[in-house]
Structure 1
Amino acid sequence: PSAASVPVGSSEFGYLVYAQNGGAVSRRAADIMPGDVISLVDAKLKGHKGLQAYSQSVGMGGEALVGIVHETEHKKLKVRVFQANQKVGQQSVESVSYRLEDLKSGQVKV
């Protein structure tokens, strides 16, 4: 309802409900829900998982990583995503979690 409509012929996947560039959220029209399409472009995430620090780079080289959200934790801004396996030689779908508040650079759209 409050999300922007999609122009005909665009490369978007539907209504934009969430957009983030680096650490700044630029649009939050609604909560991220299971079934939403998520796109990460040149995304670098850096934070902590338990007691260990981690860093992760996804959607690098101008190719967007596109997946389907299947679980969300609104308090932690964490999404669990079904995405194509990125390893060479294996064709499968994997479930990966991303904490959007750990985004240091790049772009996320839902």
Structure 2
Amino acid sequence: MSADDLIAQWGRVGIQIHEAATVLFEKSKKSLVGDGTFLGFITAVLNQVPNALQPEPPYDMFGYLIYAQAGSSVQRRVSDVMPGDIIVLQDAKFKGHKGLQMYHQTVGAGEPLYAVIADCEVKKSKVKVFQANQHVGQQTVESASYRLEDLKSGSIKIYRVLET
């Protein structure tokens, strides 16, 4: 699939996925979205977009793989990451700086973390995402950010959802 094809797919599907995720993020302040799991949030978002290709078990692919990274090594980058793309973090350990502070963060240990890209800062190699919030008593979808270049181990895959 060419870079132009991938941008066209994003224009037909990705924009709608981003809008659906934003709406569900707002709704999550008052009610449960999906079943409360990372995957449940993704399926709830994709169910709002009739022309989006729906994932099937074992939920290891969400369209066309546009970005893959294992540890600090980027193995695949065929398109810019766009809002509405799906990110999958598996046993991802991040280590770096936020301001003057060092930080360590582990996500997707045990089961993968699935999220919808909300925004991407290419220069900072940073993605903001909407993901299910696993903390009891808070809104059920949260916004989080990950700096891709701070990945020390584990894997990141980003998919462009395709049209049915």
> What is the letter of the counterpart of residue 2 of structure 1?
S
Aligned to 1:31, which of 77, 80, 91?
80
> What is the letter of the counterpart of residue 74 of structure 1?
V
User: Mean Cα displacement is larger for which, 80-89 or 42-51?
Assistant: 80-89
Question: Once the two structures are superposed, what CA deviation does each residue of 1:33-81 show, in whole Å capped at 9, x if it has no partner?
Answer: 00000000000000000000000000001x1100000100001110000
Q: Matched residues, percent identical? A: 63
Question: May I ask how many residue pairs the two structures share in their alignment?
Answer: 105
Q: Where does the alignment leave 5 or more consecutive residues of structure 2 unmatched?
A: 4-55, 159-164
Q: Where does the alignment leave 5 or more consecutive residues of structure 1 unmatched?
A: 4-8
Q: 1:87 deviation in Å?
A: 1.9
Within 5 Å, give how 1:15-94 maps onto structure 2: 15-61=64-110, 63-88=111-136, 90=138, 92-94=140-142
Question: Once the two structures are superposed, what CA deviation does each residue of 1:3-37 show, in whole Å capped at 9, x if it has no partner?
Answer: 7xxxxx67300000000000000000001000000
More strand by share: 1
Aligned to 2:143, which of 92, 95, 102?
95
Look up the match of 2:63.
14
More helix by share: 2
- TM-score of the superposed pair, with normalisation by structure 2: 0.60
Q: 1:95 deviation in Å?
A: 0.2
Question: Once the two structures are superposed, what CA deviation does each residue of 1:88-108 show, in whole Å capped at 9, x if it has no partner?
Answer: 465600000000000000000
Return the alpha-carbon distance in structure 2 between the equivalents of residues 2 and 102 of structure 1.
29
Higher-Rg member (1/2) = 2
Look up the match of 2:13.
none
Return the alpha-carbon distance in structure 2 between the equivalents of residues 2 and 84 of structure 1.
32
Look up the match of 2:2.
2
Cα RMSD of the aligned pairs, angstroms, is 1.8
